[in-house]
Amino acid sequence: MNGSIRVGNLFGIPFYINVSWFIVLALMTLSYGGSLAAQFPQLGLGLPFLLGLIAALLLFASVLAHELGHSVVAIKQGINVKSISLFLFGGLASLDQEAKTPAGAFWIAIAGPLVSLFLFVGLTLMGSYLPLAAPLTALINLLAYVNLALAIFNLIPGLPLDGGNILKALIWKITGNQFKGIVFASRVGQGFGWLAILLGFLPLFAGGSINFWTILIGWFLLSNAGILAKDATLRNQLSQFTAEDALADNNSIVPQEISLRTFVNDYIIGKTATRQFLVTNEAGELVGQISGDDLKTIPTSQWPLIQVQTVMQPVEFSTTVDAKQPLLDVVTVLEQQQLNELPVVRNGVLVGLIEKASIRRLLEQRLQANPA
């Protein structure tokens, strides 16, 4: 992960700390340490900042507990948690897939805030009833109210916050379309981002100074919500098609029994350039591949006498997709296996080749047909 350091595993989940986290850790240590030094001068010079460091670490431990809440519920739903990261704006649990149902998405989203609220109640009770020294009581109370603030902030109903995921689950339940839920919640998140940026600049009109932290949070919401909306819009478009809708040139399938002369005349001369052709047997099964380059060492006088099956190369595809498979699933396979193309079959019979370029063309045609 860029700019992040892996520090170990938590319940089998890789745990990372971004370099930006150390900046916030130092600022929080100095800020709270200075506050304790002013509030409790009897602590001397060093102890307040040591307590400030402990408080900062415990605050991040609270953020970590929040993310573990999401992770545990996701794992119980069979979803793999790729990593948990701490960074400038808090924490992030990275899941390898979305929840399969609106209810599943809701429980994953609400788990983090519930953990924070639980910590708030527990720490509040500790601060109220345990006979601790005043500085420790102040530290516990700080942790309690930070957890409350963490829960409330994350419940703002806009992506990428937890409240946005809850809103997404609600819209998904109402419309039956997961991607509509993501787009709607992302737009709301962008709205809150603009609001935060406006509030950050608002003090200028009263003769005050810009609140950079609020502006930074607004920018974070705005940019990440925009990315999520764009991604969901694309995935929504892909979900409306199947693999056979995005087939590349149908001229890319060649019968193995035809001669090389027929192959050149019917499939290469005057046709759109195709680097690779798939070869099928009489049953339509994929048996090999051939390109124009494979003919370079064969005299043209021999082309009418030699069949394609004699020259074809072993097929290199280890994965095929069904013609009726959702195009979104196909794109996932292409990305996960880092492929540029896949053969498409129907009942075991090869029907064509799907490429990243053919998927892009399909989406461009859809956009031109429906520009709105």
Predicted TM-score (pTM) of the model is: 0.79
CA-CA distances (angstroms) from residue 310 to 111, 233, 299, 313? 61, 47, 14, 9
φ/ψ (deg, to 5) at 350: -70, 130
Cα 362 from chain centre: 23
Residue written as tokens 């745990």?
15
| Count of CB atoms situated within 10 Å of the CB of 95 | 17
Which residues are annotated as catalytic? 67
Q: What is the C-alpha separation between 245 and 251, in angstroms, rounded?
A: 15
CA-CA distances (angstroms) from residue 224 to 159, 192, 196, 219? 8, 12, 14, 8
pLDDT at residue 118, rounded to an integer: 97
pLDDT at residue 250, rounded to an integer: 59
Tokens representing 34 are 């200075």
pLDDT at residue 251, rounded to an integer: 65
Type of residue found at 48: P
Q: Are the C-beta atoms of 31 and 51 separated by less than 8 Å?
A: no
Angle 102-129/47-76 helices, nearest 10 degrees?
150
Tokens representing 324 are 């009726």
305-323 burial, b for 16+ CB within 10 Å, e for fewer?
Answer: ebebbebbeeeeeeebbbb
CA-CA distances (angstroms) from residue 277 to 144, 150, 352? 65, 57, 10
174-212 burial, b for 16+ CB within 10 Å, e for fewer?
Answer: eeeebbbbbbbbbbbbbebbebbbeebeeeeeeeeeebe
Superfamily of the domain at 243-369: CBS-domain (3.10.580.10)
| Helix, strand, or coil (residue 43) | helix
Q: What is the C-alpha separation between 82 and 92, in angstroms, rounded?
A: 11
Q: What is the C-alpha separation between 246 and 361, in angstroms, rounded?
A: 8
**Each residue's pLDDT tens digit in the chain (372 positions)?**
567 888 888 878 898 988 888 888 888 888 888 888 888 888 888 888 888 899 889 988 999 999 999 999 999 999 999 999 987 767 888 998 889 999 999 999 999 999 999 999 999 999 888 888 888 898 899 899 999 999 999 999 999 999 999 999 999 999 999 999 999 999 999 999 999 999 999 988 887 788 888 999 999 999 999 999 999 988 888 888 999 888 876 567 889 999 999 999 888 887 665 567 888 888 888 888 888 888 888 999 999 999 999 999 887 676 788 999 999 999 988 888 888 888 888 887 888 888 888 888 888 887 776 655
pLDDT digits (tens, 9 = 90+) for 120-172: 999 999 988 888 888 889 889 989 999 999 999 999 999 999 999 999 999 99
pLDDT digits (tens, 9 = 90+) for 46-103: 888 888 899 889 988 999 999 999 999 999 999 999 999 987 767 888 998 889 999 9
pLDDT at residue 205, rounded to an integer: 84
Tokens representing 265 are 């005349």
Handedness of CA 321, 327, 329, 331 (dihedral sign): positive
pLDDT at residue 35, rounded to an integer: 85
Tokens representing 358 are 């053919």
Where helices occur in the chain by DSSP H, the ranges are 19-39, 47-76, 102-129, 134-154, 162-175, 178-201, 212-238, 260-263, 308-311, 327-336, 356-369
Q: Are the C-beta atoms of 308 and 290 separated by less than 8 Å?
A: yes
Q: What is the C-alpha separation between 181 and 171, in angstroms, rounded?
A: 5
Q: Where are the domains of the chain?
A: 1-154, 156-239, 243-369
φ/ψ (deg, to 5) at 91: -145, 165
Tokens representing 260 are 């090389």
CA-CA distances (angstroms) from residue 35 to 40, 44, 144, 150, 197? 8, 13, 17, 21, 28
| Count of CB atoms situated within 10 Å of the CB of 324 | 10
DSSP state at residue 42 = G
Residue written as tokens 């986290």?
21
Cα 22 from chain centre: 25
Beta bridge partners of 18: 4
DSSP state at residue 266 = I
